[in-house]
């Protein structure tokens, strides 16, 4: 279920941005331009579908820290309530989530979000009532059931989470459930944990892992799963390009897996605890992008971080290869990486900047 466009209003530096998306999308810009804010706003839709809206906002510091703080601008309605509005248009559906502040003096939970409105429509109906599959206002919701009837949702909803996270009996509302599962399946990779005591540097119990964990903790198991089930030729071709005359493999001892590397000129194999941070990050990117269970959508936030420029050609090839199976969103500082990717496939490229504290997006090229 590909994403056709996203619209974000009122999230940190993003006052109001709508972006049409293609199969491969690159968002670049200088530090502080809002690349990570766009990435995090998009991830918030995924967290809402996963039942973690309130927890995800808490991890960012609470509602006061994630709302637009730039004040009123030209064209804004005076005394309009402060709202964050996140929406995504997919192949067959449109979803929108509207979040506001909790009522003052009623509860101590002043940093919790308050879901004001939530809606799901069939695409092509211009959001008319005839195409509405789900409509929520505060704690009350109406959904279209399996028979096409509009029904009041029988349970009272908690205000701080999306209806997706509270939906029981999903078989009664198949289309709503389908969209929820699609959004839950989106994958996001921002920072891999490569510190000295991180899990990927230590032997881990090995279980088949077709999906790399968000922090890369199961790298060895995911690498071996990919080797057994996935694009082995592509994996080792990319690794040879990135690390010539080196060979990566998984060592098993008592059911525990550990990444190992043999390098020309070194008499013993190196353990993952000895790998450089950049080597581990590149391995994580390779395993994530070549997953034997590719997602419909994946977002990478600044994948070039800590990588030597010599690794960028291999990273570009990885991203282009993954875009054959997965819709990609890539935020990056590196215009060089963007140009390398464009050498492999069509790309929609947006350049971000800030004007008076507001993130603005300028299309540099759009895939046909």
Q: What are the tens digits of pLDDT across the range 239-264?
A: 999 999 999 999 999 999 999 999 99
Distances (CA, A) of 318 to 163, 228, 288, 303, 323: 36, 19, 10, 11, 9
Other CB atoms within a 10 A radius of the CB of residue 256 amount to 14
The answer on 238 and 200 residing in a single domain is yes
CB 98 within 8 A of CB 81: no
Same domain, yes or no: 69 and 143: yes
Of 186, 205, 230, which marks where a domain is finished? 186
Q: What's the pLDDT at 105?
A: 59
User: In the listed set 163, 186, 209, which residue is the last one of a domain according to the structure?
Assistant: 186
The band of 309, judged by pLDDT with boundaries at 50, 70 and 90, is very high
In which band, very low, low, confident or very high, does the pLDDT at 126 lie, cut at 50, 70 and 90?
Answer: confident
Is 301 domain-assigned?
A: no
Are 70 and 163 members of one domain? yes
Do 165 and 97 belong to one domain? yes
Asked if residue 152 and residue 102 are part of one domain, the reply reads yes
One domain for residues 20 and 117: yes
- Boundary-marking domain end, from 147, 164, 186: 186
Both 239 and 156 in one domain: the answer is: no
Please indicate, yes or no, if residue 204 is contained in any of the structural domains: yes
CB atoms within 10 A of CB 74: 4
Cβ atoms of residues 296 and 326 within 8 Å: yes
Task: Give a yes or no: residue 323 inside a domain.
Answer: no
259 and 150 in a common domain:
no
Residue 172 lies in a domain: yes
The residue segments making up the domain with residue 55 are: 3-186
The string of pLDDT tens digits covering residues 83-106 is 999 999 999 999 999 999 877 656
- Residue 96 sits in the same domain as residue 234: no
Domain count, the chain: 2
**312 within domain boundaries:** no
Question: pLDDT at position 296, please?
Answer: 96
Helices 277-289 and 232-242: angle between axes, nearest 10 degrees: 150
Indicate whether 179 and 266 sit together in one domain.
no
Tell whether 98 is covered by a domain: yes
* pLDDT score at 23: 97
> Using alpha carbons only, what angle is made at residue 7 by residues 54 and 354, rounded to the nearest 5 degrees?
95
Cβ contact 119:87 at 8 Å:
no
Q: Are 11 and 122 in the same domain?
A: yes
pLDDT above 80 for 220: yes
For residues 170 and 205, state if they share a domain. no
- pLDDT over 90 percentage in the chain: 80
Residue 79 is assigned to a structural domain of this protein:
yes
Report the pLDDT value the prediction gives residue 54, as an integer from 0 to 100.
94
pLDDT digits (tens, 9 = 90+) for 41-65: 999 999 999 999 999 999 999 998 9
pTM of the model: 0.93
Token pair 């109406």 is at which residue?
142
pLDDT given for residue 80 in this prediction? 67
Question: What mean pLDDT comes out for the span 190-194?
Answer: 91
Decide if 352 is inside a domain.
no
Average pLDDT over residues 299-306: 95
Q: Is the separation of the CB atoms in 271 and 295 below 8 Å?
A: no
């Amino acid at each position: 279920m590909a994403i056709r466009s996203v619209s974000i209003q009122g999230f940190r530096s993003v006052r109001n941005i709508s972006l049409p998306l293609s199969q491969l999308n690159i968002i670049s810009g200088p530090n502080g331009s809002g690349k990570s804010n766009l990435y995090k706003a998009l991830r918030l839709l995924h967290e809402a579908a996963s039942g973690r809206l309130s927890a995800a906002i808490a991890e960012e510091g609470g509602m006061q820290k994630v709302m637009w703080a730039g004040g009123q601008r030209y064209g804004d309605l005076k005394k309009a309530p402060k709202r964050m509005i996140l929406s995504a248009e997919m192949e067959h559906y449109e979803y929108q989530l509207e979040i506001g502040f909790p009522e003052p003096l009623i509860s101590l939970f002043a940093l919790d979000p308050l879901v004001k409105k939530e809606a799901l429509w069939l695409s092509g109906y211009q959001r008319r009532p005839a195409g509405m599959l789900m409509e929520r206002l505060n704690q009350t919701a109406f959904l279209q059931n399996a028979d096409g009837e509009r029904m009041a949702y029988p349970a009272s909803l908690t205000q701080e989470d999306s209806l997706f996270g509270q939906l029981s009996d999903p078989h009664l509302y198949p289309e709503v459930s389908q969209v929820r599962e699609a959004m839950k399946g989106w994958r996001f990779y921002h920072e891999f944990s490569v510190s000295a005591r991180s899990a990927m540097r230590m032997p881990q119990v090995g279980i088949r892992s077709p999906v790399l964990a968000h922090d890369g903790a199961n790298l060895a198991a995911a690498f071996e799963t990919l080797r057994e089930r996935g694009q082995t030729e592509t994996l080792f071709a990319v690794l040879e390009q990135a690390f010539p005359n080196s060979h990566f493999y998984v060592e098993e001892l008592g059911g525990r897996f550990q990444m190992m590397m043999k390098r020309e000129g070194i008499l013993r194999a190196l353990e993952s605890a000895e790998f450089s941070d950049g080597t581990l990050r590149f391995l994580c990117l390779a395993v994530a992008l070549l997953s034997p269970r590719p997602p419909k959508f994946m977002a990478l936030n600044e994948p070039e971080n800590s990588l030597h420029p010599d690794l960028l050609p291999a990273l570009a090839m990885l991203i282009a290869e993954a875009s054959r199976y997965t819709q990609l969103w890539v935020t990056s500082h590196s215009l060089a990486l963007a140009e390398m990717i464009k050498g492999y496939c069509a790309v929609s490229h947006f350049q971000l900047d800030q004007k008076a504290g507001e993130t603005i997006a300028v299309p540099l090229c759009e895939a046909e």
